[in-house]
A and B are shown apart, each in its own frame.
Chain A
């Protein structure tokens, strides 16, 4: 049962693509999350409202629906806008871009909550001291807020990352050759769906298990010098 009939390398390529999708989405999610958290904590009611609407809407919609909306809707949108700017050929939306944007956008909302909590957990006096020294807000962020919020953000960040990795399986539905789709193709050709999906499941377990150990290491590192009861 556990002969892969020469499809091993193909599944491996898919695994690499899954990791690429995960990491690029994570990058987008981190940027959006940071922007969202700072907006939620800012004094401007407009920014606050926008960030709240963002997180509320994302939490109400399944990721698959959002991904299909971005993929199919984006296709129509690009081809409506294309002729307006003088581009007349039919444009195909790249499933990698659609997938990465959707996943990044969804997890940006979860990261917003994680980062908001982490920023609030930093002692306010620390920031005040920074301003008292005449630091600019950016400098306060870079030198004081950020290094201290990492410790509080890591547990939530870790959870989001693990969920994100599993969510990338959805990109197989919009036609990206990640490991789930590679497995489906191999399963179709060899008539051994169980074998190939089990291999994919084991790959996911490996990725999540390794992630958990790395995250634990980072958590220990960033908590150095914190007294524990």
Chain B
């Protein structure tokens, strides 16, 4: 193996690293911002509001991210109405399509995570808030959501890691993220080991950095629950229960 290929072309990887970090963080922020109100509506809304949210979550959790991305990037071009609309300059861009797909995808998983933790709010907390005369909105803001976020943290940290791993798919629609950089180097020098092992190392470094910071956050948020042994975050497959 000859890693001088990598050190000579490190700028390609750094460009990729930049794109991966931008894509992942923007998608996560947009996804979470959409997921919070959707999760609340999914729990307390009337059936006419709940039903579309359920359908949205069911679709995005039941199909592969790759297919969703193809639908957005290639699929919308099928319609002339779309091509003539003011949105077309956006949907022509691979970057925008990846961002949109990733945001919607992570939003769907996050809605499900948050819904689970909102439903699990201890009844006493809600009763106490009602007894204190809080309005529904105030209760949501001060009691239900903060307590739900705390419970959602372990599952959400898995979702962050999965979004990072899923972002590698952006390279399929021509975006130069870390995987895209590796594919460029591989095709330029025909050196698959060096190219992809380097990409793997980049991803591992990001993963473990994220896990480290989440552990700090968990220590802070879960300080009141800290048992004698410090529990370790494990990254698991996202929880699937589509009918739920």
Using a CB–CB cutoff of 8 Å, the interface residues on chain A facing chain B are 57, 59-66, 68-69, 72-73, 75-76, 110, 113, 156, 158-160, 162-163, 166-170, 172-173, 180, 184, 187, 191-195, 197-198, 200-201, 204-205, 208-209, 212
Closest 10 CB pairs of A and B: A72-B192, A60-B204, A194-B75, A169-B64, A62-B168, A69-B196, A62-B165, A193-B74, A166-B64, A194-B78
A157: shortest Cβ distance to chain B, in Å? 10
Q: Is the CB of B164 within 8 A of A62?
A: yes
Q: Is the CB of A205 within 8 A of B63?
A: yes
Question: Could you say which of A62, A158, A208 has the most chain B C-beta atoms within 10 Å of its C-beta?
Answer: A62
B207 contacts the other chain (Cβ, under 8 Å)? Answer: yes
| A209 CB contacts on chain B under 8 angstroms | 62, 242-243
Cβ-closest chain A residue relative to B69: A197
Contact A201 B67 (CB under 8 A): yes
Q: Please state if B59 and A205 are interface contacts (CB–CB under 8 Å).
A: yes
How many whole Å from A183's CB to the nearest CB in chain B?
A: 8
B66 at the interface (CB under 8 A from A): yes
Query: B240–A76 contact, CB under 8 A?
Result: no
Known: A159-B237, A212-B243. A61 touches B203 (CB 8 A): yes
A contact patch SS: helix
Chain B residues, Cβ within 8 Å of A60: 200, 203-204, 207-208
The answer to whether residues A61 and B200 also contact, given A180-B64, A205-B62, A209-B242 and a CB cut-off of 8 A, is yes
Judge whether B78 and A159 touch: CB under 8 Å. Answer: no
B171 touches A64 (CB 8 A): yes
Give the residue name and chain of the A residue nearest to B238 (CB).
A163
Specify which of A69, A156, A192 lies most central, judged by the most chain B CB atoms within 10 Å of its CB. Answer: A69
Q: Which residues of A contact B95 (CB under 8 A)?
A: none
The answer to whether B207 and A205 have CB atoms under 8 Å apart is no
Contact of A197 among B71, B199, B239 (CB under 8 A): B71
> In the complex the two chains form, what is the Cα distance from A160 to B67 in whole Å?
19
From the candidates A160, A163, A191, A201, name the one contacting B63 in the complex (CB within 8 A): A201
Is B106 part of the contact surface with A, judged by Cβ < 8 Å? no
Contact A59 B75 (CB under 8 A): no
Complex CA–CA separation, A195 to B76 (angstroms):
10
13 contacts between A and B (CB under 8 A): A59-B161, A60-B204, A61-B165, A63-B168, A68-B179, A69-B192, A110-B236, A172-B66, A193-B77, A194-B75, A200-B63, A201-B71, A205-B62
User: Is B58 within 8 A of A65, CB to CB?
Assistant: no
Please encode chain B, from 91 to 116, with 1 for each CB lying within 8 Å of some chain A CB and 0 for all others.
00000000000000000000000000
Residue of B nearest to A202 (CB): B63
Candidates B64, B193, B239; contact of A76 at CB < 8 Å: B193
**B204 interface neighbour in A57, A158, A159, A205, Cβ under 8 Å:** A57
- Return the chain B residue nearest A111 by Cβ: B237
Q: How far is the CA of A162 from the CA of B109 in the complex (A)?
A: 14
Cβ of B62 and Cβ of A69 under 8 Å apart?
no
Min Cβ gap B59→A in Å is 7
In angstroms, Cα B26 to Cα A28, docked, is 36
Residues on B with beta carbons closer than 8 Å to the beta carbon of A158: 240
Report whether B169 and A64 are in contact in the complex, using a CB–CB cutoff of 8 Å. Answer: yes
Question: B70 at interface (Cβ–Cβ under 8 A)?
Answer: yes
Other-chain contact of A198, B71, B207, B238 (Cβ < 8 Å): B71
Tell me whether A208 and B75 are in contact (CB under 8 A).
Answer: no
